[in-house]
């Protein structure tokens, strides 16, 4: 995957989040402030508008900077900073092994910036298991990623706004876990 291919994927996420806006907002309305759909849509609309090309590391870095400056809310700095950090390890031609490294950096960045670990009902629950999924199954299939997001449904949130809902956060998939499914699916598409 070179810079052009990666740019295509990042631009493609605009239509994904246009389509998934109401789903993500619906989840965030249950256990947050109801803006995750709008946040992701705004972020990737800005990426579509502002990120215009370069090598794969450059595209990742520009995507990250754009997400940081365009998404309000907790998810902006977490996703934004993660893309910037992934640009440090990405090769100009990203292969499967390199993608695994990138996903590890994605997880480590969210862990340190969000002070989060597994089982706290956040995007981290999907991101942290995706490298292993790629390693074991050789792909990042939508169904498999969705199953990871599904696991957050029965968790009790202890980070972010959802933590205010305590026990009541049970029964809803974490919005950030759901958006992470789409981002990681896009990164892995065509890498099988
Ligand atoms: P906000 O909560 O500020 O409105 P968003 O709604 O855009 O921001 O994003 C919420 C998502 O961010 C949550 O569903 C969760 O996945 C993620 N999140 C929030 N806080 C943390 C954290 N400390 N660590 C990891 N992820 C977090
Ligand atoms: Mg929110
Ligand atoms: Mg908010």
The residue nearest atom 3 of ligand 1, judged by CA position, is 73
Q: How far apart (Å, rounded) are the C-alpha atoms in residues 85 and 178?
A: 21
CA angle 2, 113, 31 (to 5 degrees): 100
Q: Is 52 exposed, middle or buried (0-12, 13-18, 19+ CB in 10 A)?
A: exposed
CA–CA separation, 107 vs 86, rounded Å? Answer: 10
Separation of 60 CA from ligand 2 center, angstroms? Answer: 24
Domain ranges of the chain: 3-188
117 CB within 6 A, ligand 1:
no
Distance (Å, whole) CA 157 – CA 25? 17
Residue 24 backbone class (left: φ over 0; alpha: ψ -120 to 50; beta: rest)? alpha
pTM: 0.97
What digits encode the pLDDT tens for the residues 134-187? 999 999 999 999 999 999 999 999 999 999 999 999 999 999 999 999 999 999
Measure the CA–CA gap between 192 and 190, rounded to whole angstroms: 6
What is the number of alpha carbons within 13 Å of residue 121 lying toward its C-beta? Answer: 28
**Residue 159, ligand 1, Cβ within 6 A:** yes
The DSSP secondary structure of 11-22, one letter per residue, reads HHHHHHHHHHHH
To 10 degrees, what angle do helices 36-50 and 75-89 make?
Answer: 40
CA of 5 to the centre of ligand 1 (A): 28
Find the angle CA(106)-CA(112)-CA(114) to the nearest 5 degrees. Answer: 90
pLDDT at 185: 98
Query: Residue 14 in contact with residue 3, Cβ under 8 Å?
Result: no
Is residue 192 scored above 90 in pLDDT?
no
Give dist(CA 192, CA 183) in Å, integer.
Answer: 16
Q: How far apart are CA 18 and CA 114, in angstroms?
A: 26
With a 6 A CB cut-off, is 35 part of the ligand 1 pocket? Answer: yes
Condensed to tens digits (0 to 9), the pLDDT of residues 91-120 reads 999 999 999 999 999 999 999 999 999 999
The CATH H-level superfamily of 3-188 is DhaL domain (1.25.40.340)
pLDDT reported for residue 135 = 93
């Amino acid at each position: 995957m070179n810079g052009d291919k990666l740019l295509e994927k990042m631009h493609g996420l605009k239509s994904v989040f246009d389509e998934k806006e109401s789903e993500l907002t619906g989840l965030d309305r249950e256990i947050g402030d109801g803006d995750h759909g709008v946040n992701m849509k705004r972020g990737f609309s800005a990426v579509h508008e502002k990120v215009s090309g370069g090598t794969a590391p450059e595209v990742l870095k520009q995507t990250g900077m754009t997400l940081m400056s365009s998404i309000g809310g907790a998810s902006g700095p977490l996703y934004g900073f993660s893309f910037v950090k992934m640009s440090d390890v990405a090769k100009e031609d990203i292969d499967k092994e390199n993608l695994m490294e990138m996903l590890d950096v994605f997880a480590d960045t969210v862990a340190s910036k969000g002070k989060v670990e597994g089982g706290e009902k956040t995007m981290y629950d999907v991101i942290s298991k995706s490298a292993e999924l790629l390693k074991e199954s050789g792909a990042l299939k939508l169904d498999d990623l969705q199953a990871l997001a599904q696991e957050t449904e029965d968790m009790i949130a202890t980070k972010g706004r959802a933590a205010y809902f305590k026990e009541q956060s049970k029964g809803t998939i974490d919005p950030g876990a759901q958006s992470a499914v789409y981002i990681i699916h896009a990164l892995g598409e065509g890498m099988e």
